[in-house]
């Protein structure tokens, strides 16, 4: 049972390079999320997609773009990487709109990105 | 705006001792509250959640949490800590659109 799968797990970039983090879930969830985790900051929401075809900004969207490719896949793109984007990135999914709500997010194992 | 505060960045307890991790939230309506645990190098796993009803909720691995509306708190407790409980713990509040707003996290160390 794969759950939420993120690729790559590790990546080193130079300032100004671009890259895309891929995320796929096999739980048929309608909502997907990208968070970044930094020491002492907890997890901060970058973007989320409440359903296929929709995306919305979270707390820290600057410097990122997302694509909800289909119900399973939600990618995060850094167009011009900066050292401030060095972080661990987590993708998550959930089934929203259920009654009663479940509320639980299922997380991938994370992608560690270093920007030099 | 919704927010979550975990006042303790790092806590050390002895194995077998009791544990309480603090969480305070800010939310206009009745909150959905969660505790997640993150082992080193792993993603987050749900420990327990509160939506409504009984204010004392039980979770996995022997954890429980109590919702206190008057104090805007949702503290996590465990009567007897095991070495395997060493991890980082995150409190979160549910927001519109299914999003979760996380606290800064509390790192738990367990002394033998």
The residue behind tokens 């050292």 is: A83
Residue B31: what pLDDT? Answer: 85
Q: Does the pLDDT at position B36 exceed 90?
A: yes
pLDDT at B82 over 80: yes
Torsion angle of the four alpha carbons A21, A90, A34, A53, in this order, in degrees rounded to the nearest 10: 60
Computed over every residue of chain B, the mean pLDDT equals: 92
Question: For residue B75, what pLDDT band results from cuts at 50, 70 and 90?
Answer: very high
Q: Is B77 in the A-facing interface, judged by CB distances under 8 Å?
A: no
Phi first, then psi, for residue B72 (nearest 5°) are 50, 45
Sign of the four-CA dihedral A83, A84, A87, A91: negative
The chain B residue lying nearest A9, using CA atoms, is B41
**CB contact, 8 Å: A53 with chain B?**
no
Q: A47 to chain B, minimum CA–CA distance in Å?
A: 10
CA distance B89 to B92: 10
Predicted confidence at residue A50, as pLDDT, reads: 87
At B24, the pLDDT band (50, 70, 90 cuts) reads very high
**Are the beta carbons of B23 and B75 closer than 8 angstroms?**
yes
User: What are phi and psi for residue B98, nearest 5 degrees?
Assistant: 85, 0
pLDDT at A1: 63
Q: Which residue of A has its CA nearest to B35?
A: A104
How confident is the model at residue A98, as a pLDDT? 58
Q: With 80 as the cut, is the pLDDT of residue B29 above it?
A: no
The token pair that represents A5 in the structure block: 């799968």
- In this prediction, residue A99 carries a pLDDT of 52
Which pLDDT tens digits describe chain A residue by residue (116 residues)? 679 999 999 999 999 999 999 999 999 999 999 999 998 889 999 999 988 889 999 999 999 999 998 999 999 999 999 999 999 999 999 887 655 556 688 999 999 999 99
- Which of B41, B49, B99 has the CB atom closest to A104's CB atom? B49
pLDDT tier at B96 (50, 70, 90 boundaries)? confident
């Amino acid at each position: 049972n794969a759950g939420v799968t993120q690729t790559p797990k590790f990546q080193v970039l130079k300032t100004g390079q671009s890259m895309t983090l891929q995320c796929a879930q096999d739980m048929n969830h309608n909502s997907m999320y990208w968070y970044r985790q930094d020491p002492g900051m907890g997890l901060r929401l970058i973007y989320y997609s409440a359903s296929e075809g929709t995306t919305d900004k979270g707390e820290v969207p600057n410097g990122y773009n997302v694509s909800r490719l289909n119900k399973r896949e939600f990618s995060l793109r850094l167009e011009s990487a900066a050292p401030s984007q060095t972080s661990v990135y987590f993708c998550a999914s959930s089934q929203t709109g259920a009654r009663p709500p479940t509320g639980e997010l299922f997380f991938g194992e994370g992608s560690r990105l270093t920007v030099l | 705006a919704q927010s979550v505060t975990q006042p303790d960045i790092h806590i050390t307890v002895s194995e077998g001792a009791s544990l309480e991790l603090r969480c305070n939230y800010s939310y206009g309506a009745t909150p959905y509250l969660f505790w997640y645990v993150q082992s080193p190098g792993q993603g987050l796993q749900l420990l327990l959640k509160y939506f409504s009803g009984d204010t004392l909720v039980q979770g996995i691995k022997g954890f429980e949490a109590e919702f206190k509306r008057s104090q805007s708190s949702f503290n996590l407790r465990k009567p007897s800590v095991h070495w395997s409980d060493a991890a980082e713990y995150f409190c979160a509040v549910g927001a519109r659109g299914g999003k979760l707003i996380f606290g800064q996290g509390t790192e738990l160390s367990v002394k033998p």
